[in-house]
Structure 1
C-alpha cells in the first residue's frame, strides 16, 4: 500500500435526490419496491443488503438508486464488518455497472469500488479489488464523458494505493493515468484528443497521490525524465490550461524534489537506483540539474502572479485557495520547508498529522475523495491511521508551561524519527537495507 477542492465528482452532483442520507431509508426503499418491509426500515444492514440485491436488477434507474445508497453509506460509515463477507460479490456487481448503463451509473459504480477498497483496507481483498477492476477502469477511460474519466481516475488511484503489492503493479496504474495526462499518437488512428483542464488537473492529482507510494522502492531517475519535462511545460504562464492544472503540476514536481530526483548531484545518488556507468550518471544528473534550474524560474514567476492578472473574478475564492496551496509548494521548493499539518478530527483531541510533502498530498487527496465522510473515516478507519501519524493530543488540559515542555518533547521525537529515516535511506542507497526493512 502505499486535494483539496480542485475537482468534485461525487454521486450527489449528478442528482442530489439520489444521494439522500442512508438514515432516511423510506424513499430509497420505495424506489426499490421494498416499502412493504417497513419493520426493517431503520436497520442499516438490512437496507444495504437490499441495495446489493438491487444491483442485479435490469432497470438502470434501480441500480443507480442502489449505488447512490451504497456510496452514501460508505461515506458516512466505516462498514468493515459488513463488507467482510460481501466484498467480492459487491465488487463484481459494481464492475458490471461500470460496463453498462448510463454515465451516472458508471460514475457511481467506480466511486463505490474506490470506497470499498478504502473500507476493507490493505490486504488480500484490496489486492483482488485492484486486480479485477483495473482492466475495466482502463477501458472506461476511453469514454467521452469528463465526469466519468475523473471518477475512474480517482478510483484507479485509490484502489492501487490500497491494494498494490509491488512497484510493478503501481507502475501499471501510473502508466494508465499518464496516458490521460500526456496522450500520444496511436498507429493508424492519429493523435488522441487532449484532455480538458478539469480532466487534466484530476489526472495529475490522482497520479501524484499514487506517486507518493514509490519512495520505499529504488527509483530509476531516467524513468521520470518525460514526466518531469512535460509537467514543467504545464507551469508556463501561456499554456492553454487553467491555473488548477498548473497547481497540480507544481505539486507533482514537488514530489520529485522530495524523492531526490530533481536534487541529484555528482557525488551522491540520493537513495535512487544505481547507474550502469559513470557516463550515464553524469548525463542524467546534468539533465536533472538543468530541469531544476528551469523549474525554479517557473515557480518564481508563478508565485509572483499571486492570483492577480487573469484571475477569474467569479471564482476568486478558488483562485486564492489555489495560490495558498502554491505558496506552500514554493516555500518547500526554495527553502525546503516541509509542510507540517495537524488536523483535529474529534472532540477527544485525536489528531492526524503530516510531516512530509507526500503525506500532505495524500491527506488532501483523501479529504477530497471521501468528501463529507472524511472525518468519520479519519476517526475510525485503520487505513488512514496507518497512512498518517495518528495521535491523541494530551496537551489541552495542561498548563502553559507543561504544554511547552510537551511540544518540545514531541519535536524532539519527530527529529529523532526524521534522523532515523535519513539513516535508513542512506543505508538503502548503499545496499545495506531492502525496501521491506524501511
Structure 2
C-alpha cells in the first residue's frame, strides 16, 4: 500500500507552546543554507534533519513548504557530495511529512529528475537513491510514476553487471533494495508485461553471491507474493548489439504459471534453510513492537517496507513516525491506542440522612445540660416560647429540616428515573 494515495488535510500535531522556538531555529538554518561557506550549509542541513527526525513538524512544513523544498534543491544541485547526501535525506523527510497532495506531487516533479541524474553518474549514491525511493513512495501520482522510477533503477542495476568490484557490489545491493521497496507498493495487475522479463532468473543467479544473496532473496519473495509471475519470467533482450538473455528457471520449454510458482517456491525454501544472511529470520518476523503495541506484518511487502523505513529513519525515527505520522501508520494499517486518563468513579450512597443542629439561646430550658430537647416525653414542661422554636425547626413545612428532607426525596426520585432510563436505552441498543 503506497502512501501517495492517502493524503488529506494537514494534522495539527505540534504543540503550540513548542512551535515558535522550533520554527525560529529552522528559519535560521534555512538562512544559513544561502551562505557561501560549505561547512555552514552542511551544519544547517544536519540541524534541520535532526529537528525533522526528532519531532513531527507538520504545521511548519505545510506553511513553509516552498522555502524548504527549493533551499534543499539548491543544495542538491550545487553542493559537494556530503551536502547532496544531506539534501537527499532532507527531501525524503519532507516527502514523509507533507500532507497536501499538490505539494507532494510538486516535490516529486522537482526532485526526482535531479536524483535520477545522480544515479546515472555511477557514483556512490546510496543517500540519493534512498531519497529517490522515499519521495517516489510517498509523492507519486499513479503507478506509472512508480514503475518509471523502478525502470531507472533497473537500468542502473544492469550497468557494469559483470564487475565484481566491492564498490559496484555495494551499489548494486542498494539499487536492488530500492527496486524491491518500490515493487512492494504495486499490485501485480498494474505492472508492465514487458519491462521485467527475466527478473526471476536474474535474481536467482544472484543467490550465489554472498553479498547480494539477501537482497536477491528479498526480491524473489516479493515477486512470488505479487502473483504475476509471468511478467517476471521468460527471455529478455536488453541491447541491440549484445543480446543478454535470461532463461526461465522453471524449464526451457513453456511452463505454466503453476509450475513456475512451484519452482520458485522450492527455490525460496531451499535458500531459506541455508540462508547466508539474516534474511530468513527477517522474513519470519510477523510483528514489530511500537511502545506497548505491535505492528502486525501480514505480508512480505510490509516487511520490506519496514526494513527500508528503518534504514532511512533509524529505529528511533521510525518509532516516532509510527506514533505521530499518519502517512506512515496508514502504510502498515496501524492505529495507536490512546490511553485515557483514569476516571474517578462516583459511588452512590446506600443511605442518606438529614441532620440539622439547633443551638438554643442561653437561659432556655433546652440549654440545660442533661435535658434532651428532642425527647417529647421529657419536655412536657417546656415553655411556650421554646415549643414554638421547636415547632419552627422540626414540624413546620418551611422548617429547614423539612426542606432538606424534600430535597433528599427529590434527589432519590431523579436517580431512580435515570437508572430506569439508562436500562431502557441499553435494551434498545442491543436490538
TM-score range normalised by the length of the shorter chain? 0.5 to 0.7
Structure 1 residue 192 displacement after superposition = 13
Q: 1:73 and 2:51 equivalent?
A: yes
Distance 1:163 1:97 in 2: 20
Distance 1:128 1:99 in 2: 17
Of 259, 274, 282, the match for 1:305: 274
Q: 1:235 and 2:207 equivalent?
A: yes
Distance 1:220 1:369 in 2: 28
Question: Structure 1: which 5+ runs fail to align?
Answer: 3-39, 265-282, 308-318, 329-338, 396-438
How large is the RMSD of aligned CA atoms in angstroms? Answer: 3.4
Distance 2:104 2:293 in 1: 27
Distance 2:48 2:180 in 1: 28
Map 1:217-256; keep pairs closer than 5 Å. 218-236=190-208, 239=209, 242-243=210-211, 245-256=212-223
Tell me which residue corresponds to 1:57: 35
Of 161, 169, 173, the match for 2:145: 169
Map 1:11-410; keep pairs closer than 5 Å. 43-121=21-99, 123-143=101-121, 145-146=123-124, 149-183=125-159, 196-215=168-187, 218-236=190-208, 239=209, 242-243=210-211, 245-262=212-229, 286=255, 292=261, 295-296=264-265, 298-307=267-276, 319=277, 321-325=278-282, 328=284, 340-341=286-287, 343-346=288-291, 349-371=292-314, 372-392=316-336
Verify the 8 A CA contact 2:147 2:191 in the aligned structure 1.
Answer: no
Give the 3 Å change call, closer, same or farther, for CA 130–194 of structure 1 in structure 2.
Answer: farther
Give the match's secondary structure for 1:344. Answer: strand
Larger gyration radius, structure 1 or structure 2 = 2
Give the 3 Å change call, closer, same or farther, for CA 137–176 of structure 1 in structure 2.
Answer: same
Verify the 8 A CA contact 2:130 2:178 in the aligned structure 1.
Answer: yes
Give the match's secondary structure for 1:352. Answer: strand
Structure 1 residue 260 displacement after superposition = 0.8
Distance 2:307 2:286 in 1: 13
Kindly tell me the number of residue pairs found equivalent between the two proteins. Answer: 304
Distance 1:208 1:100 in 2: 30
Distance 1:306 1:171 in 2: 30
* Superposed CA offset, 1:1-50 (max 9, x none): 71xxxxxxxxxxxxxxxxxxxxxxxxxxxxxxxxxxxxx9x922211111
Which shifted more, 88-97 or 349-358? 349-358
Give the 3 Å change call, closer, same or farther, for CA 103–170 of structure 1 in structure 2.
Answer: same
Distance 2:91 2:64 in 1: 13
Which TM-score applies when normalising by structure 2? 0.63
Which TM-score applies when normalising by structure 1? 0.62
Distance 1:131 1:232 in 2: 34
Higher fraction of helix = 1
Question: Structure 2: which 5+ runs fail to align?
Answer: 3-17, 232-251, 340-431
